[in-house]
Amino acid sequence: MKKTILGKDLEVSAVGLGCMGFTHAYGTAMDEKEAAKAIVAALDMGYTFFDTAECYTGNRADGSLAYNEDLVGEALKPYRDKVIIATKCGVHHSPEGKLVMDSRPETIRSAVEGSLKRLQTDHIDLYYQHRIDPKVSAEEVAGVMADLIREGKILHWGISETTEEYLRKAHAVCPVTCVQNRYSMMARWYGALFPVLEELGVGYVAFSPLANGVLSGAFGKGNKFEEGDFRNMMPQYTDEAMDANRKLMDYIKGLAEEKQATPAQISLAWMICKKPYIVPIPGSRKVERIRENGGAADIELTAQEVASIDEKLDHMEMSGVFGGSAVQK
Residue 24's alpha-carbon distances to 21, 84, 130, 236, 278, in angstroms, are 5, 21, 15, 19, 24
Contact (Cβ atoms closer than 8 angstroms) between residue 68 and residue 32 = no
> Is the distance from CB of 1 to CB of 15 less than 8 angstroms?
yes
Instruction: Look at residues 211, 108, 98 and name the one whose alpha carbon lies nearest to residue 159.
Output: 108
Residue 226 contacts residue 61 (beta carbons within 8 Å): no
Give the type of residue at 161. Answer: E
Helix (H) or strand (E) holding 278: strand 278-280
3-state secondary structure of 100: strand
Integer Cα distance of 280 and 236 in angstroms: 20
Q: Which of 47, 56, 166, 183 is catalytic?
A: 56
How many other C-beta atoms can be found within 10 angstroms of the C-beta atom of residue 94?
12
Q: Could you tell me which residues come within 8 angstroms of residue 5 by beta carbon, excluding any fewer than 6 positions away?
A: 11, 12, 203, 277
Distance CA 2, CA 112 (A): 30
d(CA 71, CA 130): 19
56 is catalytic: yes
Radius of gyration of the chain (CA): 19
Report the catalytic residues.
56
